[in-house]
A and B are shown apart, each in its own frame.
Chain A
Amino acid sequence: MTDDVLVRARDLQVHFPVRSKGLRRKVVGAVRAVDGVDLEVRRGETLGLVGESGCGKSTLGNALLRLVEPTGGTVEFDGADVTAMSRPALRALRRRAVMVFQDPYASLDPRATVGQTVAEPLQVHGLHPGARARASRVAELLELVGLDASVASRYPHEFSGGQRQRVGIARALAGEPDFVVCDEAIASLDVSVQAQVLNLLRRLQDQLGLTYLFVSHDLAAVRHVSDRIAVMYLGRVVEVGPAEQLAADPQHPYTQALLSAVPVPSPALERARRRTVLAGDVPSAAAVPSGCRFRTRCPHAFDPCPDVDPALQAVGAGQTAACHLHGVVGSREARV
């Protein structure tokens, strides 16, 4: 069982201090961006991570790679504790666990050629030493992502958003990673180009046996690429399950509301649907409600919700949800 899990987060926390104004800048509180997340990413799967802005999904993706420092809990990568890694061990991790960023305009160095950008990880990790070997590896990587090898001598500004994102993917794959975090990797692309990149990511997964964490606010895209989906709300994973099962039969009231809000590109279905329109806004992560953090907007909130912080519990085959509607059991201790 342990063997098929590549990345495992246990009670992971990333809290950012809130300081007072003035000279002393005392710590007066914390933004609990990630606040007690248990999550497993299995080898060879795509785990979709969805949630609205500010829910902590990007911070969680970063924390799994230790691109932000967790303030509590642990992350295991292939059995090794990432949170305790030394610098050399972290450097080795950076080859095996990589990130594809959202904005291909900001994540490529405008003064480096595409070839230099893709070659950089090879140099850092001492792979394919020698200029000729490196150049041929760069050409191979560019062709792998559907670009012509000749583009290596060109600069990012000569490319469209979709092509830049391909460069970003080629760079991420340079060190032959096992695990790729795609952080809103299609969010800034046009619809027709999004489809190209989604198809490419899936082809690469088949070809290279990659494991993906696909972080996105776009539920339709997440459902399309994912084997399993995890839903985040206010720093916590509130539901996890097989993609189609979770999409067809969501068990957490937040997942239900989120799914019902996603517009469907079919006029007949849109006319027929009934939306659960959530009242109000997401509370601040610096002032998380007591008990269940969704209770302030939940249409089903009842007695135990303000007092007991619900734990993830089984609600279907391979599906878990953190909600008292499924029985007030296994509640997690209140975290202060």
Chain B
Amino acid sequence: MSAPVLEVADLRVRLETPRGPAHVVDGLDYAVGAGETVAIVGESGSGKSVSVLALLGLLPASATVTGTASFGGRDLLAMSEAELRGVRGNGIGMVFQDPMTSLNPVLSVGRQLTEGLLAHGVVTGRAAARARAADLLADVGLPDPRGALERYPHELSGGMRQRVVIAIALAGEPRLLVADEATTALDVTVQAQIVDLVTRLQAEHGTAVVWITHDLGVVAGIADRVLVMYGGRCVEDGGVDDVFDAPAHPYTRGLLGALPARVDAQRGPGRRAPDLVAIAGTPPPPTELPRGCVFWPRCPVRGDVRCETEQPPLVRVGGTDPRPHRAATFYGREIP
């Protein structure tokens, strides 16, 4: 296998809050190869968004970020702001949740697209930039791309806006695309369009994708590998089939059991659907993470007293060697 496009090691993010320090991300390791999609899954407050904002230098200055993030042989976390600016939108494209807030409402679509193209020196000259911008809009499936250059964000639907955001993200021909809840604000039929679009563009350009979402259905459709986050830590990671077919961590099992679609697959015709397997309680706020295993207060298994005092290591529970299936547990494969 060739070297990964992005390799993150022991990433930690600490934020100072009025309630004390919050360990929002607490030791994260993963790698994304060319053409590969890694999905980071978690509920609100799990640290999934912060973990990628940290890589891109988009956190407030009060945040303390440690670890390494090797991108094209250089450590993103050691870069100056000027160097990072060269990487953002050029080597790494970004798509965020709400296309209305990630686009500037007072600038035309064409202006916002050409701005990046010119700033990163992808093309020279306004005419060339406009031609390239129209190509990009055509590539993301916007009808009448030349006309769309003159439009403003409020004139477009949510799905069309997100296509524009994706066009902007792809303008610098990035090797890595980071999508943070990119389809969450969209209706399912539009979500299907956007997922298809990203999958197609990825296949055409060999882009590596980090897709952050809470939606396990989307993950099943797009990811090669999955990383499940809870309380700032990775509790399980592995190939998408391994994690969905043989979830090892009680939290992953709980998340999958809470999905109506999985439970209802066992529902007979005319029969009432069985109850969902709800996880008791709520996720802890990052300022009040429990000692030991972050999940133990909600855990239905809770093996022994070690859970409350010691942080369980990520151990291999399956998969094959360069790409193992791992879970944070004391019990290895013999998880109760």
Partner-B contacts on A (CB < 8 A): 52-53, 160-163, 190-196, 198-199, 202, 217, 219-221, 223-225, 242, 244-245, 248, 257-258, 260-270, 275, 277-278, 281
Nearest residue, chain A, Cβ from B187: A52
A218 to B265, CA, bound (A): 16
Partner of B43, one of A192, A217, A269: A192
A245 to B269, CA, bound (A): 8
**A263 engages B263 (CB within 8 Å):** no
A258 to B218, CA, bound (A): 15
Report B186 CB to chain A, min CB distance, Å: 9
**B220 engages A221 (CB within 8 Å):** no
A263 to B267, CA, bound (A): 18
Chain B residues near A160: list those with CB within 8 A: 282
Q: Chain A interface: which of B57-65, B132-140, B272-280, B313-321?
A: B272-280
B159, B220, B270, B275 interface centre (most CB from chain A within 10 Å): B220
Q: Chain A interface: which of B8-16, B113-121, B251-259, B327-335?
A: B251-259
Nearest residue, chain A, Cβ from B273: A224
Given contacts A195-B260, A278-B189, 20 further A-B contacts (CB under 8 A): A161-B282, A190-B43, A192-B255, A192-B258, A192-B278, A199-B275, A199-B276, A217-B188, A220-B264, A223-B260, A224-B260, A244-B270, A257-B189, A260-B192, A262-B217, A263-B195, A265-B256, A266-B220, A277-B196, A281-B157
**A191 engages B263 (CB within 8 Å):** no
Interface residue? B5 (CB, 8 A): no
Q: A199-B276, A262-B217 are in contact. Are A220 and B189 (CB under 8 A)?
A: no
CB 8 Å contact bits of B6-43 with A (1 = contact, 0 = none): 00000000000000000000000000000000000001
Chain A residues near B214: list those with CB within 8 A: 190-191
Interface residue? B241 (CB, 8 A): yes
CB 8 Å contact bits of B210-250 with A (1 = contact, 0 = none): 00001111111101000000000000000011001100000
Q: Which 8 A-B pairs have the closest CB atoms?
A: A263-B217, A224-B260, A195-B258, A195-B276, A52-B187, A195-B278, A261-B192, A192-B279
Chain A residues near B43: list those with CB within 8 A: 190-192
Interface residue? B261 (CB, 8 A): yes
Partner-A contacts on B (CB < 8 A): 43-44, 157, 159-160, 187-193, 195-196, 214-221, 223, 240-241, 244-245, 254-265, 267, 269-270, 273, 275-280, 282-283
Chain A residues near B193: list those with CB within 8 A: 277-278
A275 to B159, CA, bound (A): 17
Report B269 CB to chain A, min CB distance, Å: 6
**A53 engages B244 (CB within 8 Å):** no
Q: A52-B188, A265-B259 are in contact. Are A223 and B264 (CB under 8 A)?
A: yes
**A191 engages B192 (CB within 8 Å):** no
Chain B residues near A244: list those with CB within 8 A: 267, 269-270
**B192 engages A195 (CB within 8 Å):** no
**A258 engages B188 (CB within 8 Å):** yes
A52, A192, A260 interface centre (most CB from chain B within 10 Å): A192
**B157 engages A219 (CB within 8 Å):** no
Chain A residues near B254: list those with CB within 8 A: 192
Nearest residue, chain B, Cβ from A242: B270
Report B203 CB to chain A, min CB distance, Å: 14
Report B101 CB to chain A, min CB distance, Å: 17
Nearest residue, chain A, Cβ from B217: A263
Report B278 CB to chain A, min CB distance, Å: 4
5 pairs of residues in contact across A and B, judged by CB atoms under 8 Å: A162-B282, A199-B276, A267-B245, A278-B193, A281-B157
Nearest residue, chain B, Cβ from A227: B272
A270 to B262, CA, bound (A): 13
**A191 engages B216 (CB within 8 Å):** yes
**A275 engages B196 (CB within 8 Å):** yes
Report B234 CB to chain A, min CB distance, Å: 17
Chain B residues near A270: list those with CB within 8 A: 217, 220-221
A295 to B159, CA, bound (A): 20
**B258 engages A264 (CB within 8 Å):** no
